[in-house]
Structure 1
């Protein structure tokens, strides 16, 4: 027994055929797989990793459109933290993302519950109607909402005029431009939540609802005890994806308000566009983009931690 304990780890691995293989051995054994994956790896590096690395390095320069940049250290980040418009856009972006994300969750869940209660024939038609906004172009959606809400020629303005009511300036004054952006973005993307929720609801065994009903649970109790637990992880997944996409949302808000009136509805995505293509300052624009990435990563870390805690409940 003492002799067995005195053996080195290398001797034990050799006895049981567990010798570690070198990288050269692995390449020799799996060379065909590496050959097939190499083009994808190179393309992904050229189109994803290199632009990211190039952009990060650009934030330490004063690069402008068509001009080589000089190293300026942390000057762009200092500008970022002391720029009032960026601070305002950062705060409004958080409000915009929170409002649209949670409204998309709520409407998506209601749509999925509605579809789940319908018969198959009607479900197909209603599903197409409910999901149609998500498959429309965001830029077209922004134009439609602008036509819908504009005070001069909008449909809502004409409808209010018929009944003799003054039309609020949905895109110009007060808090209405903020509400308009959140409502328009919610309308366009709530179907994404509905698709995931509908899939989650269809995977719940009917026997669980029948067992709950036989034990005396009403519809609300069955929803709380059977449905809600099965929707927790899909909810976190939707939150993570929709938060990241709403932070980067540009087309529809730009078409609807363009960050206006003035800069009242300026989102980080619109500010990035203006700094890059109006002011021609690509270095500062990418610095704003880094702030957007940091915001997305912070939200993602929170959601991943939530998923880990949720999975621990089932261990």
Structure 2
């Protein structure tokens, strides 16, 4: 045993006939698998990587609708860093993303706990009710919320009027448009968190709850000591993915406010659309997109770190 410990890795491989496998060896052994992967790799490259590379190159040109453009260096990035509307939309996007994501987390936990406490028949119906917003089209969700909140024909302002009250300007005031967008986006996507949390709660061994109950732990303490530790990994995953997806969210906010009134609720996604298809400046739109990619990649880094440390995070 002592002799084995004194040998190098190469000597141990040689003794037990374990040779160093090269890339060529792996290809020879698994050539059928690689053959099936090639079409997917080509399609993925053509539909994903090539557009990204072309978009990055376009940020160094003055390309617009129907015009290839000329190379202008870092002018688009200089424009971005001196544009007040970009910095405003950047800050509002961060507020929107974190406000929406953390609210979705909270509602997701509540919905998952509610489903876990219901009987099977009630669980099916309540589950359908909870999950239904997530499976609706975001554009349709924006239109629905506009019918609810619009000051001229919205259901909620008219409901206020029945009681002789004046409803706030949900889509045109100083403060309420921000709240309206966060609430609407939370409503549409909180079910994603609920699905993951519900699966995590179901997988918790019942013996842990029984042991906690026998030790005198109440409902709140059982939730703190038993349930919460098992929700740590799902929470990190949800935070990472929902942050990235909320950064790119466009359809529902655009249908609800379109970035208005004026530019008050201008998210980066809406600003990208306006620069590209209203101002027809594709190069600057891609430059704004690069800033969105940086935010999304930050969430991706958190996600990768969480996966790498998965074994250490389980309690």
Report the Cα distance in structure 1 between the residues aligned to 2:26 and 2:302, rounded to whole angstroms: 37
Q: TM-score, normalised by structure 2?
A: 0.93
Shift of 1:125: 0.3
Q: Deviations over 1:35-70 (max 9, x none)?
A: 111111111111111111111111111111111121
Task: Please tell me whether the aligned partners of residues 143 and 255 of structure 1 are also in contact (alpha carbons under 8 angstroms).
Answer: yes
Shift of 1:16: 4.1
2:278 equivalent in structure 1? 278
Runs of 4+ in 1 over 6 A off after TM superposition: 7-12
1:42-191 matches, within 5 Å, as 42-191=42-191
Report the Cα distance in structure 1 between the residues aligned to 2:310 and 2:256, rounded to whole angstroms: 39
Report the Cα distance in structure 2 between the residues aligned to 1:307 and 1:33, rounded to whole angstroms: 26
Q: Decide whether aligned partners of structure 1 residues 234 and 11 sit closer, same or farther in structure 2, where only a CA change above 3 A counts.
A: closer
Give 3-state SS (helix, strand or coil) of 2:231's partner.
helix
1:248 equivalent in structure 2? 248
Shift of 1:174: 1.5
Task: Please tell me whether the aligned partners of residues 92 and 266 of structure 1 are also in contact (alpha carbons under 8 angstroms).
Answer: yes
Task: Please tell me whether the aligned partners of residues 209 and 222 of structure 2 are also in contact (alpha carbons under 8 angstroms).
Answer: yes
Give 3-state SS (helix, strand or coil) of 1:204's partner.
coil
Stretches of structure 1 lacking an aligned partner (at least 5 in a row): none
Shift of 1:15: 5.4
Report the Cα distance in structure 2 between the residues aligned to 1:186 and 1:10, rounded to whole angstroms: 56
2:295 equivalent in structure 1? 295
Shift of 1:131: 0.7
Report the Cα distance in structure 1 between the residues aligned to 2:310 and 2:26, rounded to whole angstroms: 38
Q: Deviations over 1:194-232 (max 9, x none)?
A: 000000000011111111000100001100000000001
Task: Please tell me whether the aligned partners of residues 181 and 253 of structure 2 are also in contact (alpha carbons under 8 angstroms).
Answer: yes
Task: Please tell me whether the aligned partners of residues 236 and 307 of structure 1 are also in contact (alpha carbons under 8 angstroms).
Answer: no
Moved more, 26-35 or 49-58: 26-35
1:32 equivalent in structure 2? 32
Task: Please tell me whether the aligned partners of residues 101 and 186 of structure 2 are also in contact (alpha carbons under 8 angstroms).
Answer: yes
1:268 equivalent in structure 2? 268
Shift of 1:21: 4.3
Task: Please tell me whether the aligned partners of residues 232 and 314 of structure 2 are also in contact (alpha carbons under 8 angstroms).
Answer: no
2:228 equivalent in structure 1? 228
Report the Cα distance in structure 2 between the residues aligned to 1:26 and 1:314, rounded to whole angstroms: 34
Alignment length, in residue pairs?
A: 311
Shift of 1:264: 0.2
2:193 equivalent in structure 1? 193
Stretches of structure 2 lacking an aligned partner (at least 5 in a row): none
Give 3-state SS (helix, strand or coil) of 1:141's partner.
helix
Q: Decide whether aligned partners of structure 1 residues 164 and 209 sit closer, same or farther in structure 2, where only a CA change above 3 A counts.
A: same
Task: Please tell me whether the aligned partners of residues 64 and 283 of structure 2 are also in contact (alpha carbons under 8 angstroms).
Answer: yes
Q: Decide whether aligned partners of structure 1 residues 298 and 9 sit closer, same or farther in structure 2, where only a CA change above 3 A counts.
A: closer
